[in-house]
């Protein structure tokens, strides 16, 4: 049996790590902060933007379907964490903004998120972490160049 290529092994390792970290973070953030990672990611995109974002912009930034964003928005409005209003310039578009309550919840969740990731990865040598980040950024750059060359 032929060994898998390093490229495939990198992909499987990255996917496994992402799945494990996501599951752990989602469980802990939901239990301790009352926010799923999906809600956390949504709030992260609009945090610090007093003008808010359209649901369409959020769909592109979060790389999920419009239906997912609409459902999350409804739940976050019900939780009092965001507002959702029709755009003054485009009646087909809705703009979401974070409320003060949402900002407070996000800030607490972000602090816990960062602490958890630090705790879980602490002890790995800084040079190794820096190298890993560099390699992942190289991979993203390579993919972006590949996409650009196929877009034309």
Residue 18 lies in a domain: yes
Residue of 42, 35, 38 lying closest to 109 (CA atoms): 35
Q: Strand runs (DSSP E) across 47-144, as ranges? A: 53-54, 82-86, 94-98
pLDDT at 65: 82
Range of the domain at 67: 6-147
Query: Token digits for 8?
Result: 């495939």
Q: What are the counts of helices (DSSP H) followed by strands (DSSP E) for the chain? A: 6, 3
26: three-class secondary structure by DSSP: helix
Residue 49 domain-assigned? yes
Q: Is 39:72 a contact under the CB 8 Å cutoff?
A: yes
Q: Is residue 1 part of a domain?
A: no
Note the pLDDT of residue 1: 66
Tally of domains within the chain = 1
pLDDT at residue 139, as a whole number: 92
Residue with tokens 């310039």: 89
Mean pLDDT on 112-121? 95
Residue 25 lies in a domain: yes
Is residue 15 in a domain?
yes
- Cβ contact 69:62 at 8 Å: yes
Q: What is the pTM of this model?
A: 0.85
The CATH number covering residue 37 comes to 1.10.10.10
pLDDT digits over 9-45, tens only?
999 999 999 999 999 999 999 999 999 999 999 999 9
With respect to residue 41, please indicate whether it lies within any of the assigned structural domains.
yes
Alpha carbon distance 77, 60 (integer Å): 20
Helix (H, G, I), strand (E, B) or coil at 58: helix
């Amino acid at each position: 049996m032929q060994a898998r290529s390093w490229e495939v092994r990198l992909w499987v390792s990255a996917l496994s790590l992402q799945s494990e970290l996501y599951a752990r973070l989602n469980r802990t953030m939901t239990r301790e902060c009352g926010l799923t990672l999906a809600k956390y990611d949504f709030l992260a995109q609009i945090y610090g933007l007093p003008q808010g974002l359209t649901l369409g912009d959020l769909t592109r930034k979060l790389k999920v379907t419009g239906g997912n964003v609409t459902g999350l928005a409804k739940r976050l409005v019900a939780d009092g964490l965001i507002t959702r209003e029709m755009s003054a310039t485009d009646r087909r578009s809705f703009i979401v903004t974070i409320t003060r309550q949402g900002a407070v919840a996000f800030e607490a969740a972000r602090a816990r998120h960062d602490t958890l990731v630090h705790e879980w990865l602490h002890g790995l040598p800084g040079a190794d972490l820096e190298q890993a980040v560099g390699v992942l950024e190289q991979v993203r750059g390579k993919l972006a160049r590949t996409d650009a060359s196929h877009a034309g």
